Every structure is written in C-alpha cells, then in structure tokens.
A and B are shown apart, each in its own frame.
Chain A
Amino acid sequence: MSSPLPRFAFTGHLSAVGSLPAGTGIAVTPCNDLALATVIARKGQAALLAERIRALFGITLPTGPKRVAAGGVAFIGMGPGQWLATGQADGDPQVFAAKLKQDLIGLASVSDQSDARAVLRLSGAAARQVLAKGLPIDLHPRVFGPGDAALSQIALIGAHVWQIDERPTYEIAVFRSLAGSFADWLIASAAEFRIATMP
C-alpha cells in the first residue's frame, strides 16, 4: 500500500488568514519540518550530559529559559535538567529523537515530541503587538531577545515561546490538539495588522 500522508497540526486551521489584509506586518509559518524531543538529564549526569552535548553539537546547554542553537540543532531550557531539543526533521522526524536517545544513553532520557507540539513561526514588525494580546510576558527588546525562551500561556493555551532573531521572529509551540484554538486566537489577534502566511 502507499503510506499515508502526514496531516500537519495547523492544516485547515489557518485558512481564514486568506481573508485578512495581506502584507508584511506579520508573517505566520507553520514549522512542519521541525523535529522535537524532550531531553531530561539522568540523576547526577548533568555535567557529563553538558559535555556530550557540547561535543556532539557545539552547544552549551542553557541552565535557564534560554535557547542555544548551532548547525540546525537547538536546545531550549524548560526546567531544571530539562530541555526541548529541536532539529531538522527532513520528513522523518522520529530519527532526530531516536539518534539523540542513542547518543545520550545513560546520560538523559529522550522522548520524541515532534508530533506532540505544533510549532508556528511568527515574524515581522507587528509580532510583538500580536503576542501582547495573549502572552503575559514582556517581549520588549530590553527584556526578551534572541535566545530567550519562556514557558507560559497564550489565551488559556499552554505555550512555549522562544525568540529566533531581532526582526523579531518567534517560534511558539503549543500542544498539537490545541492548534485549531490557537490559530483562532492568532487570526483574531493578528487581523488588524497586515498578515502573510507561508505554507
């Protein structure tokens, strides 16, 4: 048989964007090709884990709510001894977690979360204004910049937010099942700004 096609979390939920004024105030892009895994240090292995991550990826594991990226891989601190690792899925997201699990045997427990989260990239001049309508976090450049991350909530939906660059560009991960509700909020909140979506 032919293998089934994936259905991505935001499929069908961002269609309303097409009826909004188009422009460049904010661009919305689903990150369908992002592989995700939680990495939780085993007891007493934090130092060795940090060493291994540095050796493998050239990444210094952050100890707070920060995102450190190198070569397409990033580690985002989400609690003491816990990280969300992101990488390129290349159409086969489970490979990232499986390889990480092998690489970190004895040092960390790794769980694939590529399908557990729906990640959306928001970029553009209006991104801060849009996020201010739901995210109770200060995103002013003096306070929150590229490399900063926060576990919070947006419109009653748990959200993991990290900033990529100074445009500003943010990536926001929500539970997959809530992608529709999150998109509803986003469309309602971004509607007054000129908006663009990329497939």
Chain B
Amino acid sequence: MSGQARRLSSGGLIDRSRTLSFRFDGKPMTGHPGDTLASALIANGTVLAGRSFKYHRPRGILTAGSEEPNALVELRTGARREANTKATTIELYDGLEAHSQNRWPSLDFDLMSVNSLASPIFVAGFYYKTFMWPAAFWERLYEPLIRRAAGLGKASKEPDPDTYEKAFAFCDVLVIGAGPAGLMAALTASRAGARVILCDEDFRFGGRLLSETLSIGGQSGADWAAAAAAELVQNPAVTLMRRTTVFGGYDQGTYGALERVGDHLPVPLPHTPRQRLWKIVAKRAVLAAGAVERQIVFGGNDRPGVMMASALRSYVNRFAAAPARRLAVFTNNDDGWKTVADCLRTDVRVEAVIDPRPAVPDAFRRLAAQAGARLFEGGQVCDAHGTARGLQSVDVLTAAGSTVPVSVDGLAMSGGWNPAVALTCHLGGRPVWRDDISAFVAGAAPPGLTVAGAAAGGFDLRSCLADGLRLGAEAAEATGFKAAGSTVPEASDETLNLMPLWKVAGSRTKAFVDFQNDVTAKDIALAEREGFRSVEHLKRYTTLGMATDQGKTANVNGLAIMASLTGKSIPETGTTTFRPPYTPVAIGAFAGHHREKHFRSTRLTPSHAWAAEQGAVFVESGQWLRAQWFPKPGETDWLTSVSREVKAVREGVGVCDVSTLGKIDIQGPDAGLLLDRVYINTFSALAVGKVRYGAMLREDGIVMDDGTTARLADDHYLMSTTTANAGKVMQHLEFCHQVLWPELDVQMVSVTEQWAQFSVAGPRARDTLAKLVDPPADISNAALPYMGVIDTAVCGGVPGRLFRISFSGELAYELAVPARYGDGVMRAIVAAGAEYGIVAYGTEALGVMRIEKGHPAGNELNGTATARDLGFGKLMSQKKDYIGRVMAERPGLTDPDRPALAGFKPVKRADRLRAGAHFLGLGAEATARNDEGYMTSVAFSPSLSHWIGLGLIKGGPARYGEHVRAYDPVRGGDIEVEICSPVFVDPEGVRLRV
C-alpha cells in the first residue's frame, strides 16, 4: 500500500511539512506531527487494531480518546515495552514501534479466535461455574490456567529504565479539561487575577473544538482555542499542563494528576522523567472534562469499521484521516448528524443515515439528500457484517419492519453522551439521572468543585461557554478575586433531541456491550436470569466495566439493558461506583523517586564513611544503616568475624559506633520530676555527673523502652533510648508534658543527631581513651567510676562527653563528640588503640556480648513483657507514682507463672540454639497447650565456646537447672536445653567496675 492512502488531501491540525516514520506489527508506515498512533493507522488504511480479550474477535479503533476499549497496543520494545497502551492517546513520534496484542500467531490470522466458536462456554460467570471443584485444583491448576489466558498485553519483565517523579502544585482555581468550557473558565478566572492551573489529557488544548467544525466569535473553534491558550500562556499566574490527566479527586480540594512528560518521545529527554505524578491542591476546581459518546448495542457492533460518530469526526476534521470511504451513520440524536455535514466536505461518501427517531427535521432530510444518502427514519441498524479486513455491510431494520442491507465500509454510531462525572464521585458522590438528555450527571459535587459544560450535561457549545464563564468567575470570586463582567462570545448553535436507544431488538449476531471485556447483551440477560441483578453484582458476574477502560463507553448501556430486563427505571437501577484513577496510572508514577535503594530514606552514622572504607558489612536497623561486622581478609563467614570481634573486646579493646541510640535533652526545674513519672525508678535523686539505668512502662504496665539517663546539671538531664524507640519515646515524653502535666516547667528536644557516640569497651578501654582526652581530664577509676559522666575535650580541642557505662560487661566508656567530628574521632580511637590490638565491632558482636551479659533488648522488650518478667522488679519504685504502675499490678501481670527472662544452654554443648524455638516439658507433646514460652535471642558465645540463649519461660528464674525442650518445628529443631541465669559472663560484674 502506498503511504497514507486514507489521508485527506487537505485540512486537519497536522504538520504536513514533516513526515514521521513508525512501525505497527513491524510494518513501516508514516504519519505527521499532530497525529496520534490511531489517526496515523487510519491514515495508513489500517482497520484492524487488535483482538478482543475472550473471543479474540478482530477489533478496530472505536474512539478518538482515552475511553478507547479496543485499540490497545504494546508500545515500544525491550525494557520500555508498555502493554495495553491506547493507540488513541499515543502521540506519534518518529521511530515509534507498536505491536498489536492478544493474538497468535498474527493479528490478521489469530488461531485463538476459535474461542469465538466456543463462545457458548465463555458466558457470564464462566469462571465461577467452571473452576469450582475440586478445591485442591484452585491454586495448582485453575489459577495458573486462568492467569495464562487472562490479560491482553505482555509486560516487559525488565526493570523500567526510565524515571518517574512526584510533584506538588497549588492554585486558586484548578480547571480540569481544556475544551470550550474549561478554556472559558480558565480565561475568566485568570483575567480576575486568580492563580489558575489548567490541565488537559490531550497534547493540544481545545477539546472537541479541535474535532468539530464549530465557530466562536467568528473564528473556527480550533483558532479560538489556540488564541485562548496563547492568552493564558502569557499570564504568569497560570500554569498550563498539557498531556496531564486529573485522575482522582481527594479530600480538601486535593487532586491527583498524571503528567506524561516524555511519553510522546522515543525516550525522555536527559534528566527528565517519563511521567510526573502531581498532587494539586486547589482552593476551587472547575470540572470541564466533557462527555464520552456512547454506543448502541446491536449485532456486530464491535466489527472493525464501526466507530463512534464523534470519533469519526475527530479523524476527519482534526487528523484529516478517513476511516471509511462509504459510510453509514446510525444516530439517535441531532449531534450524530454533524457527521453527515462534515463528510460532505471530504471524499467520504455517506451512503445512509439511520435514525431511530420516527421523523427528523427537514434540515436533516435536506442534508441527507445533499449527501446523496439514503435516510431511514425510524430505522435501526440490527446487524453489521464484516471481517478482520473491515466492514462489508449493515442490515437496516426499517420503520416498516423490513430488513435492508446497505453496503458500506464504515459505520458511525451515536447513542448519546455520558458526561464525565467520575471526579464528582470519588469522594462518595452519586450521579443523578436526567431524563431530558438520558444521561447521568453529577449529583452533589464535593466542596469546592463545580461542573461545567458537557460534563454537567450542557452539551451544546453555547452552554459550555456560558458555564465556563460563570463558573470560572464564581471560582475566582470564591478565592478572593473580582471577576470583570464579560460576555459569552457568539458561538455555533447545537441541538441534541435524543431519543434513547440502548439496544437494538432483533439483532441476529453477537451484540457487544463491553468491548474490552467481551461482555454481550446476552451475558447481561443471563446474569439477570441467574439473579445477579444489582449493578454491582452485574459488574462482577459479567466483568462489565472491569477492564482497563472501566467501561466508559459501555456501562450506561449495560445498566439500561438490565433496567429493561428487570422492569425498573435506569435511575432505580443505578450505577456502579466510580473510583480513582479515571484512567490507568503506572505504579512507577506512584513510586516516583522512591524505588530500589531510594524506596525509603537511609540514615547514615557519623562513622559510616570510615566503616565503609574498612569493608564493613552493613545491616538495616530501622532507617539506619549500621556496621554489622568488619570482616578481615580471609574471613569468609560472619561467625568467624563476630567471634573474633567479641574475643578482642573481652581480652583487649574494641570500638563500636552507637550514635543511633536516641538522645533526648531534658532541661528545666521539673526535669527530674518528669523522669520520675515516666521511669519506674527514681531520677530526681540522681547526683550530677552520674548516670542511671532506667526502664519505662506503657500505660498498660508493659515495658516500653529502657536506657541510661545522665544528670548533667541540676536542671539538665540527657536521656538515651533504644535505636528503635527513639522517636516513640520522644513522642511519649511530649505527650506526657503537653497533655498530662502541662504544669511542669520542663523543656525537651531530641539531640540524637547532634552527637557521634562511640562505645570503647574492653580491659584496655581506659588505656586507649587516656591517650585521647585532653588535659586536665582524669579518667581513672577513682575520678570517673562506673556510671559516671564528665565533659572533656578530646583529641586536642574537640568538645566531648565521656560516659562510663557498659553494655558489653567490660570496662567500657561511651565517648560523645559533635557529629562532624565523628569520622575523625573514630579514626583517632582506632589509632590510639592500635597498640592494644583494638578492633572495630559491629552490631552483631554488640548483640553477642549483651546476650552473654543477659541484657534484655528489642527481642525481649517485645510488647508483652513486664518489668518483672525482664528481671527489673526491684527497680519498680514503691515510693512514687509513675506511668504504668497501677496497671502493672494487675493479677495477670503479677502471676508468678508468667514467662520470665532466663538463660538457656544446650545440654549437648555442640547443639545450635535457634531464636523462636518454643519451650516444652521434656516428655510433653508438641502442642500449643504445652507451650511454656520461647527463645528470644541466641548467640554463639566465644567466651563459653557454645551457643547460649535468652528466653521468656514460665516461672523463669525459679527454674534454673531444669531441663526443657527447645522445639523449633520451622527449622526442624528439637533439642534439650538447661535453664540458667541469663548472665553468662562475669555474673558478679567485676570487670565493668575495674
């Protein structure tokens, strides 16, 4: 075929000076800038665009917009392949490659179309009826079977090479849709001075003005739209967003919009995303999203060559492409007649006009005569006949009852218009029926949203312009601007005069309602017979409206058919719920920047760069990335590295970055009082320069968090929290102060990030630090005993604070310096400790040592353990009130049989312990009834050379010496363990006080 055989010789909003090459199913074709893929396919004479979902019926292009159910293609190739892309919305670019989908081996010859012969099987409810028994087949057989058969296009399965981003926009007035109503609203609101955002899904502003031969103020509609856009672009308070679909309406005037930044290019421009997801916050919004033309259900209405009348006008007028040579027009309203008039100016010959209305105005009769078309007043198209190559004829059922075949290669149909009300329903609004236009219009719109033009059921151009002017002015005034009085420009007159016709009675062939999901009129009748009469049941039973197009051209016909079957009115039958998004949005757009390692933000410790240089293995600890262990050359398994680190600390000295622990600066005369009320033990009596361990409870008596708090001055404490609970404890303290005890004179703020903090632990810790502290600091045991704190400069002038605290059980300190010095001070510590064989140790060794010392941590503070359970019973002050005190005395929480902290060692020392193993009596059956608790933490103890564990077991400390089973069905473990003290190393605590 020669290039663009169906391109009209003149007209259209395309740039004929440039030719774009593209391929469809490998076949080279050409088009022009301004084309969509659909219009270019039509210009190239392509009739067949895809195969249908269930029956693999040949399908053509039905519409010219985002409501398209048929012409779905796989766009691009390789990793950029995108399935189910609507050819009607793809802007043509040079080098575009698209493939049809859901066919094998080829679009023209699809073997799967034998499904069509088996169509009696694939009726509504087919899956429910077929794949029922036996239940064992559901997952193994039926689901894989259904999944293979389902779906249209194929995903690339490769990582998307493009980027997506999210953005926020704000305005006084958001105008959704840039047709006549939207442009008029945007012009009016912007002239008043309001900040306006105008969005349209198309790449050119104008809406249907681009597709119709209408005039406004003496200009063509397209010229008027161009002039309006030119005015708007000059106004700095106006943001014009082309290629942007407002897909959802949310609370408080928030709208979701998808901007296709790079979809019209072979690949996005450098450093720009493919798509951008906008959250638009608008004080007011005007919905001018237009209306979607609906079909008429008759036999063969899905045949390639059958097209919406408005779409046909789009292709002829806007794109100068002729979908047919010999056309029939089937319309139940005046609007469809515009097709006849528009074709007069082209070489598309109108063979027949079929209008089910008993009599049409004389003007239309003259028009039909002028076109040389046969006019069938009171007639209906009952069947369309054709093949994958196109339409051959339509059978017209005349008013007299006879059937007349008309030979055509195209049919334009118009069953009326459905206003695009979706955005008025996303917050729960229900559309209401209007008999005069036989359509649903917006009911109560969400606050701040008004509906203009065709979206409001005012289909004629004059109403659109008047609505736009009025609502644009109203929105501007509502946001504090004064709209100057303007008048609606002169515009073409349009009429509708629709006579509802949902389905043609007497069709002999398959009549489709939902083209994309292959739902026929018979399926709806079957659903009705089987009792699925509610529209919500109808939808799910037949899948009507459940495809990617959400039934934009189908739903109202479907429920109208159901209404007639049940004898109810359409409003009584109702509609299904409209939910966002209005058109599909890629998951990538919702993710934006937050994919792969950017899925969430990462917190790095002050010594991170140093640790990375050392080859540390890192572990995610909440948002933090912490060094887990530091493998040495030759070490291949983590246990070797970790055991080496532990031994080095216990025998020499080690250093660990503990900056991630929460730090809360608490000041004010009542600081001690606040701490007394949140901790179970007393802090108001703590001496300045001392540190105390504390535990705090939730209101219900369960342990919330623990840590040390230092007193730096009479009115100044520094609290530390666990890494995991840093935010929660801060929140808790703020709540206590702001809500429970606002009378307290206390001020607090998180200083977690201010300080880099290093644990320096082991017998040589003091020797190491002595080399680092600046004179005159004295860190001898006498001057800085266990649980003391001093402020001292270190490393020649770096301000620091030295705590004598120990988590490892060794002589240990924590040195805090301003975070910017963390990197340097870590290096200085390692240099100072070199002569003592210092090691850097990670969270794993830290964990091993705390298990060896029986310190409860996150695994034990599990949200069910009480202070007594964890061995802190003695800390619970009897002399003061504190949060959780009363509830901690509930009988259930003081039951001596509660699981309480104990240590565990394998009876056969070589056995490996597993965290999560449950404790059972030695002879007891492995049932939940016999469960005595579980192993919370385990470690291989380099100090004892066997595995040790901590756990919560019934009776806890009272049972030291007893043997139980540690039963681990998940990993097949069942070993005998001895219950023991949780303190495995230095039970007297001698080492940490030396």
Contacts and interface: CB of A to CB of B under 8 A. Distances in A.
A111 B668 contact: no
Contacts of B279: 136
Nearest to A144: B170
A18 interface: no
B272 A192 contact: yes
A177 B818 contact: no
Contact of B795 (A4, A11, A20, A134): A4
Interface stretch (B122-130, B417-425, B596-604, B888-896): B596-604
Contact of A109 (B195, B624, B668): B668
A117 B168 CA distance: 25
Contacts of B168: 132-137
A140 interface: yes
A115 B755 contact: yes
B165 A178 contact: no
Interface string B116-138: 00000000000000000000000
B819 A185 contact: no
A198 interface: no
Contact of B165 (A44, A175, A182, A188): A188
Contacts of A140: 170, 195
Interface residues of B, number: 58
Contacts, number: 151
A136 B252 CA distance: 14
A143 B271 CA distance: 29
B960 interface: no
Nearest to B600: A156
A175 B753 contact: yes
Interface stretch (B556-564, B821-829, B838-846, B982-990): B821-829
Interface in B561-595: 593-594
A7 B823 contact: yes
A173 B797 CA distance: 27
B625 to A, nearest CB: 9
A7 B820 contact: yes
Nearest to B666: A109
A55 interface: no
A3, A11, A117, A157, most chain B CB atoms within 10 A: A3
Given A43-B745, A116-B753, A136-B168, A8 B605 contact: no
A7 B609 contact: yes
Contacts of A112: 751, 754, 818
Nearest to A84: B749
B752 interface: yes
Interface in B137-183: 163, 165-170
B796 interface: yes
Given A7-B824, A114-B754, A156-B594, A38 B749 contact: yes
Contacts of A12: 609
A155 interface: yes
Contacts of B281: 138
Given A4-B798, A42-B668, A111-B749, A178 B603 contact: yes
Contacts of A9: 819-820
Which of A7, A21, A117, A143: most chain B Cβ within 10 A? A7
A12 B668 CA distance: 39
Given A3-B798, A20-B271, A177 B165 contact: no
A5 B824 contact: yes
Contacts of A114: 754, 818
Contacts of A188: 163, 165, 593, 598
A135 B754 CA distance: 24
B754 A113 contact: yes
Contact of A40 (B606, B743, B749, B819): B749
Given A133-B165, A192-B271, A2 B594 contact: no
Contacts of A40: 667, 747-749
Contacts of A44: 745
A9 B824 CA distance: 13
B799 interface: yes
Interface string A112-125: 11111100000000
B820 to A, nearest CB: 4
B820 A116 contact: no
Contacts of B799: 94
Interface in A1-35: 1-9, 11-12, 20-21
Q: Which 3 A-B pairs have the closest CB atoms?
A: A4-B824, A109-B667, A191-B271
Given A116-B819, A138-B170, 15 more contacts: A4-B823, A6-B821, A9-B819, A12-B609, A43-B668, A109-B747, A111-B749, A113-B754, A156-B600, A178-B601, A182-B601, A184-B593, A184-B598, A191-B271, A192-B269
Interface of B: 163, 165-170, 195, 269-272, 279, 281, 593-594, 598, 600-606, 609, 624, 665, 667-669, 743-745, 747-756, 795-799, 818-825, 827-828
21 contacts: A1-B795, A1-B796, A3-B796, A4-B827, A7-B820, A9-B819, A40-B667, A94-B818, A109-B665, A111-B665, A112-B751, A114-B818, A115-B818, A116-B819, A117-B753, A132-B169, A133-B593, A140-B195, A142-B195, A177-B753, A178-B603
